[in-house]
Chains A and B, each alone.
Chain A
Amino acid sequence: MTQQDPGGTRGWTAARKGVLSRLRFTSLRLRLVLVFGLVALTAAVSASGIAYWLNREAVLTRTQDAVLRDFEQEMQNRASALPEQPTQDELQHTAGQMAGSDQRFSVLLVARNADGKTVYGSSGGLSGFSLRDVPVSLRTAVNKTQKADGADKHPHHLYWQRIVDHDTPYLVAGTRVIGGGPTGYMLKSLEPEAKDLNSLAWSLGIATALALIGSALLAQAAATTVLKPVQRLGAAARRLGEGKLDTRLRVSGTDELADLSRTFNNAAEALEKRVADMAARDEASRRFVADMSHELRTPLTAITAVTEVLEEELEAETGSMDPMIEPAVRLVVSETRRLNDLVENLMEVTRFDAGTARLVLDDVDIADQITACIDARAWLDAVELDAERGIHARLDPRRLDVILANLIGNALKHGGSPVRVSVREEDDSLVIEVQDHGPGIPEDVLPHVFDRFYKASASRPRSEGSGLGLSIALENAHIHGGEITAANSPDSGAVFTLRLPRDSSEPGEQPAGNGDGPGDGTGEDAKGDA
């Protein structure tokens, strides 16, 4: 297990590097896995460690006790039976007998013979167990004669020690027969026990590894149960942010996440309601303006028709009218016209707001349209037109006229003549520039020129125009899929640039009156050309 650890760490590091790109170190999932792993590791390692240690002690002590008891027994039974000064053969024989016990240990007997020479008797013969195998410390302890006192009245004891020789653990023990006898040593291999303990260690190691894997899986599961709802919540919040206000979460369970989901749902519901309220209020106010301007138009139609009668009366013969009444009539006539324009513009704006404005497309010659527009308003002297005939476009001529009239009218009003109108083609679009020679538009006004009812200066009374002209011009460009931009020319004056697609027809936006349709048109073309 100790050898596994470095490898494991390396593997983990590599894995972490691999997933680091998508898994932040601070991510909840990673943190959960780490914490679970640490807890599992600590618990498993400490449990295994304690179990291993206790087991080891129990196994070793039991074996050791049995061996030592046997050895002691043998020493008492056989070694004590030896004469004081035994011969080499006697020692050898006794050692062999002693080793024959159940415990299968090797025995070495050391004594002095009659000549005063040290003789050895080993169970495994001369090549077997020798004094060299006995640690010096043990020999010293065995041979040391202790003073007999009250508690311990034996001068010699049985001593033991565990040694490792060539990776094999051994138990070495030695003692002396009290009252002068041979010194006996025994050597017992603890290999079977070591093997048992080793396999125990392996088992515990595997159990720990399994616990780690299990904890990682558990952590994943826990993270998933926590993160799934969090992810769902995140996705729902994103959808809500994208404007899908009917987004709701399924609430399951009673935990904190369910609580959070409920809170989210409540918030979304409140938001949806508020937005719906606001939309309804907005819609209501738009409807009001639309209805109002519609209602205004009925009396205006009557007034307009009658005003014309008054106007003709004014033009017919001067003097036929009371000089006090005449200015009043003039005022009524001019203000009725203004009111008409205002209501018309208001209705136009509500149509754009409601999205009910429609294009009535036709193929037109742009130069002709501009000339006609200028001519109809008696602006021919004040406008320089730079346009070649033959530039055709498919658009709504009335809306183009509204745009041009507003742009040129605005230029004449604020910039003064001459106003220069130029037309050019760019790829699939048509660019019409209206440039005046006035003082230009102040920088702070420039972003607001297309705003409805925007007043360049608060002090300036809005005497002419409805304040909707440029806004309507812009909306008319937009409905064609075009754009109008305002800028100041480097020379002098303001430049309004109108950009319209050459063909504004969209699929499904064919003029309804065009009943013969493009289908049979092309068919006819083919026939006509043949």
Chain B
Amino acid sequence: MGQNEPVPSLLLIEDDDAIRTALELSLTRQGHRVATAASGEDGLKLLREQRPDLIVLDVMLPGIDGFEVCRRIRRTDQLPIILLTARSDDIDVVVGLESGADDYVVKPVQGRVLDARIRAVLRRGERESNDAATFGSLVIDRSAMTVTKNGEDLQLTPTELRLLLELSRRPGQALSRQQLLRLVWEHDYLGDSRLVDACVQRLRAKVEDVPSSPTLIRTVRGVGYRLDPPQ
């Protein structure tokens, strides 16, 4: 984070006053611009007004819960969402990832961990090379950071785009979930493989002709995933 970099703006949706205040304090100190909302409804309103770069979303919210907020955002927006959840191994994580969240952190969350995740998610949208790759009807333009299928622009979240980029960089080569977690999510060795699985599901829904029988992003049993150039 250089000095001239624009300060990322975040929207924190959390109902507990103490946690909201503390996280706002911590994240502000890490150098983010933080807007806060105490409920899902307020959060969605703020999202329309402020256009933040990223949303940190608590799962347990009064009124519409975090999953519903997540689903509503995804209907129109591809901006990154990080979930705040109670436990790493419960159904919340799975439901949250299926609703379109990019990553999650478990409470009690450390500000530094959250900051690292935020920066990792934001980095996924950064451009890094100037070439393009074609997989059948799918064209990945790495300079414009766009993906088109049959000439139509696909709306991908930064995480989905990054996953596709990492897979397309090594066509035909199987990447393990742990490898993908490091490359895309920048997680340490304890990354949650469900992040990869959920993201692959969402990506397939967008890029495959028939998402239930994928021809591009293949599952390799016991290893992970690979992107196949069409024969």
The answer to whether A and B come from one shared complex is: yes
B177 within 8 A of A: yes
**In-complex Cβ contact of B22 among A302, A357, A515, A522 (8 A):** A302
Q: Which of B42-50, B141-149, B220-228 is found at the contact surface with chain A?
A: B220-228
- Per a CB cutoff under 8 Å, which of B18, B26, B190, B218 touches A524? B218
Give Cα A173–Cα B109 distance, bound, in whole angstroms: 130
Q: For residue B230, give the distance in angstroms from its CB to the closest CB of chain A.
A: 13
Mask, B84-95, CB within 8 Å of A = 1, is 001111110010
Bound CA span A297–B106, Å: 11
Interface of A is mostly: helix
Contact yes or no, A524 B219, CB < 8 A: yes
A521 interface residue (CB < 8 Å to B): yes
**A243 close to B (CB within 8 Å):** no
**Chain A residues near B107 (CB, 8 Å)?**
297-298, 301
- Chain A residues lying within 8 Å of B26, measured Cβ to Cβ, are 305-306, 308-309
Cα-based distance from A515 to B87 in the complex (angstroms): 21
- Residue of chain B at shortest CB distance from A514: B197
**B108 contacts the other chain (CB 8 A):** yes
Task: Tell which of B91, B108, B213, B214 has the most Cβ of chain A within 10 Å.
Answer: B108
In the assembled complex, B176 has its CB within 8 A of some CB on chain A: yes
**A522 interface neighbour in B112, B192, B221, B223, Cβ under 8 Å:** B221
Chain A, 281-310, contact with B by CB distance < 8 Å: what is the 0/1 string?
Answer: 000000000000010011111111110110
| Residue pair B29, A309 in contact (C-beta under 8 Å) | yes
Does A525 reach chain B (CB closer than 8 Å)?
Answer: yes
Shortest Cβ distance from residue A502 to the other chain B in the assembled complex, whole angstroms: 11
Does A384 count as interface, using CB distance less than 8 angstroms? no
Q: Would you call B189 and A300 a contact (CB within 8 A)?
A: no
A19 cross-chain contacts in B, Cβ below 8 A: none
Q: What A residues does B204 contact at CB under 8 A? A: 516
Please determine whether B111 and A301 come into contact, CB atoms closer than 8 angstroms: no
Interface residues of B in 108-141 (CB under 8 A from A): 108-112
* Chain B residue at minimal CB-CB distance from A512: B94
A269 contacts B by Cβ under 8 Å:
no
Q: Decide: A305 and B212 in contact? CB cutoff 8 A.
A: no
| B23 beta carbon closer than 8 Å to chain A | yes
A363 touches B176 (CB 8 A): yes
The answer to whether A363 and B223 touch across the interface, beta carbons within 8 angstroms, is yes
Write the B1-40 contact mask toward A (1 if CB under 8 angstroms, else 0): 0000000000000001011011101100100000000000
B88 touches A512 (CB 8 A): no
Residues on B with C-beta less than 8 A from A528 are 218, 220, 228
CB B101 to nearest CB in A, in angstroms, measures 12
Q: Report the separation of the CA atoms of residues A394 and B219 in the bound assembly, to the nearest whole angstrom.
A: 16
**Does A398 contact B88, Cβ atoms closer than 8 Å?**
yes
Is B193 at the interface (CB under 8 A from chain A)?
Answer: yes
Interface flag for B201 (CB, 8 Å): yes
User: Which of the candidate stretches A199-207, A249-257, A364-372 sits at the interface with the other chain?
Assistant: A364-372
Complex CA–CA separation, A369 to B88 (angstroms): 19
For A303, give the chain B residue with the smallest CB separation: B22
In the complex, chain B residues whose CB is within 8 Å of the CB of A309 = 25-26, 29, 111
| A–B complex contacts, Cβ < 8 Å, 19 sampled | A301-B19, A302-B16, A306-B25, A308-B111, A309-B25, A358-B89, A361-B193, A362-B178, A363-B223, A397-B178, A397-B189, A513-B196, A514-B193, A516-B197, A520-B212, A520-B213, A521-B219, A524-B214, A528-B218
